[in-house]
Structure 1
Amino acid sequence: MKRIHVLFIIVLGLLLVASTGWGAVWMYANNSKVPEGVTVDGIQLGGMEVGEAASLLTKYTDQWEQQQTVIQANDADVSSDSRAWTLKELGYDADASAAIAALKKLQEGDLIDRARYRHSFEQTLSIDYSFEPKAFDKAIRQQWGWIDSSATTNATRVITANDRVVYTPSHNAYRLDVDTLRNQVNQWVEDSQTTAATNAADLTALGTRKLELPLPIKTVEPEVTLEKLKAEGIDRMIMSFTTDFASSAEGRAYNVTSTAKVLNDVELAPDEVFSYGKIVAATEKKYGYREAPVIQNGKLVPGIGGGICQVSSTLYNAIIRAGLDIVERRNHSLPVSYLPIGQDATFASGAIDFRFKNTTGKHLIIRTVVEDRKLTVKLFGTLPDNVRYDIESITTSTIEPTIRETVSDTLPPGGRLITQQGKQGYVVETYRTLVRDGKVVSRERLSKDKYNAQPTLVSIGKGTEPSSKLGPGAPNDAEQAPIIEDGVGTQAPSA
């Protein structure tokens, strides 16, 4: 290979000498100017002295790196200051060392080397432009990094003690959009590279070139905005209903209060179905239920959880007066003292639930208040001011009590003793009337309920003739499934 190189130089020298003579070869090899037509990234250098061309490239890259980017942060919610950086400070670099080295090589080596190099010199050279994104990001974040520490605040909704619905606005957070800013500066830098040739003769103008940009800020909304929260439709208290348990023993009062605590603040989405059984289960787990009278097969007996149906019944009355749809509801087998017949809702574990559907079209919040042995259920949501629902219960028939006789060893023959006075039963129909702007719009029957009569219990002496007023009576208690109303307990499976 070395031999071929030497041979090429000899041949080239002979050709030059043959065609131009040694003087011409000497002048060609020692030419101090850049060959005609040579450009560096569009900058015309042909015909310039090599040293002058190299100096021009050095000055050009220095001035190119001194171009400024001015960032203005003028968002009133964020900041109000500006900062200027040179391209060099932002991580941009222009390196002409390779092109300068190529130019200087025109004057290096022996006569033949210089002649050969000039003869094959590239017409187009380039400047090496580079960028370090980490330097860019560091510069911006050192100036405004505190913006990224801001945090969102969710909007809040509070229902006050006097039943006002109060909203507190949300607050946005802000984040530096460094990616967008970097892309904007990169585009400007690319444009400056293509326009550099027209400015090469005026390096001072190039160095004063400036880009002004607003600081791009991304707004981060909280998960819960005021608009989203208000869209749920909790506008006001739409219904309230109160029942009294002043005569209840401590166990029953405890059960009512505990269940009301768990029911408090339950929120239903549109069309969500509420199940009272879930409230009972949650209360039993959190507080436990105490002993209080329950209804089993039409009789008051000791049990666990007595009083829980006062909560479901109070809720039921608020629900029907707010116009919501009832999915499942059954009356007690006996009338209750705290409500008119036809307007109660019982519960029995595994057998009877109270369920309704939130048909308001918006969210619904249930609030409970227990004070002075009174239970109040309040509904908060959406209901037009010009709408109300009237409830009316009508007794359509009564059921006379039967007489149930048992033989007593302590009574003489013919003796009779009433040990329990019977009570009438009832058949009741309950209607709901929709009134809008004071005018009746519709009337619907909500339920037809039967309340069992309680038999008169009579003890008779041996040999006494049974009364002619005996009715069909009730089945033996042992033959009935042990349905426990108004309490908690395991129910026998249905037949």
Structure 2
Amino acid sequence: MLRRKTWGLLFAILLGQLLISILAGASVTYGAGYAKAPDGLVIWGKDISGMVQEEAYEVLIEEIPKAVIHDQTIYPLVLTQTYQNLHDYLTSQFTISTGNFITDSLEYLRRMSFSSPSPQKLYDEEIVSQLKTIAQSIDQEGKASRVYYGDGSVVLDRGSAGVLVNVERSWEQLLQSDGLEAVPLITEVIEIHPTTAELAKVKSPLGDYTTYFDPYFYERVNNVQLAAEAINGLLLPPGEEFSFNDVVGKRDPERGYLPAYVFLGNQVGIDDGGGICQDSTTLYQAVKQANLQILERHTHSLPVSYVPLQEDATVAYGVLDFRFRNSTQSYLLISATTGKNWIRVRVFGQSDSRHPLLQEPDGYPVKPEDWLSDPK
């Protein structure tokens, strides 16, 4: 029994001496290098084992991107909080000696067996706000292309695509950058429709029709001109529907329309906007030449003088409309111009087998002398 106690006491003494030796060795090691990184400390793929804090800091800040770049323009980043976070993290890894043998030895052993996760390479709140500010100077809304008829031909004004900085993806790319001084921003190109390529196809005359009116009916001429201005220059995308009433709108006095003669059933009366059926009719004739899909058309209750019988297209806001669909493969341009006693409507687009190039314009004179005011 005594022998067992003796062996137990001896074992405890030896174990204590071993522990003291380990702690003493750790203490010596820690005392000589407590300001150095513990073995196995890897941050952002960089092994900083044995480095002093200042040395580790200089190595790691080289891994942090200092700027972003777009279109050869460099935008420096303010990294105050990012650098502070890195400094604080390293300070936590480089614990200074307390002067207590046991405490310092245990701390060294703990740091050898455990390392806290690496800090985020960039402080998100600091950087993301800067990316948003930079984006404001780069983002562009873009400009739609424009096409119109002028000086005897179709004129194309080229537009431009929009540019938008993708802040979220740019932020992710910054986090994944490895030692790049300036990281390219990720941008998206925003196509603005209609594009130049789309409108470049709008060059072929598909329909061209002229009708004439009496220039001495001032109110009626006024209304014809206002409605022509409303439809002039309109671009209709492929497959889209045109509604005369939607485009021209209400024929109210507030919009400049005047009372003029109209057909009311089988009688002639006075109403605001009288005369604009000549606009819808002339447009109908040009659309028919272009072989477009007619969706809605109505004829007057009485014959009109500006087109042959049953070749008109009457309209009444909220009641009767003239509608057609752009059944071509490109945009359509509608040109509506007026003169002293005429209105001319042209339809331009991309010709094909179903919508052939118009060879000659057409029209319907009221009297032969009306052709003296030949529209150009």
| TM-score range for the pair, normalised by the shorter chain length | 0.5 to 0.7
Larger RCO of the pair (alpha carbons < 8 Å, separation 6+): 2
Letter in 2 for 1:125: S
Structure 2 CA distance for aligned equivalents of residues 253 and 144 of structure 1? 55
Give the Cα–Cα distance (whole angstroms) in 1 for the partners of residues 129 and 112 of structure 2: 39
5+ residue gaps in structure 2? 38-49, 364-376
Residues 109-136 of structure 1, C-alpha deviation per residue, up to 9 Å, x if partnerless? 9xxxx9xx79xx6594334455367746
Change in CA separation of 1:85 and 1:357 when aligned onto 2, cut-off 3 Å = closer
Report how far residue 218 of structure 1 moved.
1.7
**Preserved CA contact (<8 Å) 1:272 1:357:** yes
* Aligned position for 1:236: 203
Give the Cα separation in 1 of the matches to 2:80 and 2:10.
50
Alpha carbons of 1:310 and 1:248: their partners in 2 closer, same or farther (altered >3 Å)?
farther
Does structure 2 retain, via aligned residues, the 8 Å contact 1:151–1:173?
A: yes
- What SS does the corresponding residue of 1:89 show, helix, strand or coil? helix
1:372 paired residue number: 340
Give the AA of the match of 1:157: R
> Which structure 2 residues correspond to residues 139-158 of structure 1 after superposition, within 5 A?
146-152=134-140, 153-158=142-147
Output aligned runs, 1:219-368, within 5 Å: 219-222=187-190, 224=192, 227=195, 230-231=197-198, 235-236=202-203, 238=205, 239-279=207-247, 281-284=249-252, 286-287=254-255, 289-347=257-315, 352-368=320-336
Q: 1:350 to 1:92 in 2, by over 3 A?
A: closer
The letter for the 1-side match of 2:143 is: N
Q: Could you tell me which amino acid in structure 2 is paired with residue 293 of structure 1? A: Y
Counterpart secondary structure, 1:365: strand
CA deviation after TM superposition for structure 1 residue 51, in Å? 1.4
Choose the corresponding residue for 1:165, options 132, 155, 158.
155
Which of 54, 69, 76 is the equivalent residue of 1:62? 54
Give the structure 1 partner of residue 176 of structure 2.
184
- For the structure 1 residues 375 and 214, does the alpha-carbon distance in structure 2 shift closer, same or farther, using more than 3 Å as the test? same
CA RMSD of aligned residues (A): 4.7
Identify the residue that residue 71 of structure 2 maps to in structure 1: 77
Deviations for 1:431-486, whole angstroms, at most 9, x for unmatched residues? Answer: xxxxxxxxxxxxxxxxxxxxxxxxxxxxxxxxxxxxxxxxxxxxxxxxxxxxxxxx
CA contact (8 A) 2:31 2:97 kept: no
Point out the structure with the larger helix share: 2
Give yes or no for contact 1:262–1:283 (8 Å, CA) kept in 2.
no
Deviation string for 1:182-213 (max 9, x for gaps)? 4315xx6xxxxxxxxxxxxxxxxxxxxxx236
Q: Secondary structure at the match of 1:33?
A: helix
**What percent of counterpart residues are identical?**
23
Equivalent AA in structure 2 for residue 365 of structure 1 = L
Partner of 1:398: none
Q: Which residue among 101, 117, 120 is the counterpart of 1:106?
A: 101
Secondary structure, in 3 states, of the residue corresponding to 1:293? strand
> Which has the greater radius of gyration?
1
Q: How does 1:466-481 map to 2 (within 5 A)?
A: none
Task: Check conservation: 2:146, 2:156, Cα contact below 8 A.
Answer: yes
Deviation at 1:317, TM superposition (A): 1.1
Higher mean displacement: 257-266 or 135-144: 135-144
Amino acid at match of 2:71: D
CA distance in 2 between counterparts of 1:217 and 1:138 reads: 17
Q: 1:27 to 1:146 in 2, by over 3 A?
A: closer
TM-score, normalization: structure 1? 0.53
Q: Is contact 1:270-1:358 (8 Å) kept?
A: yes
Take 1:247 and 1:161, find their aligned partners in 2: how far apart are those partners?
Answer: 24
Distance 1:274 1:51, change over 3 A: same
Distance 1:305 1:150, change over 3 A: same
Q: Please state how far the C-alpha of 1:300 moved relative to its aligned partner.
A: 4.2
In structure 2, C-alpha distance between the alignment counterparts of 1:354 and 1:77, rounded to whole Å? 50
Correspondences of 1:16-35 after superposition (within 5 Å): 19=13, 28=20, 32-34=24-26
Q: 1:392 to 1:30 in 2, by over 3 A?
A: closer
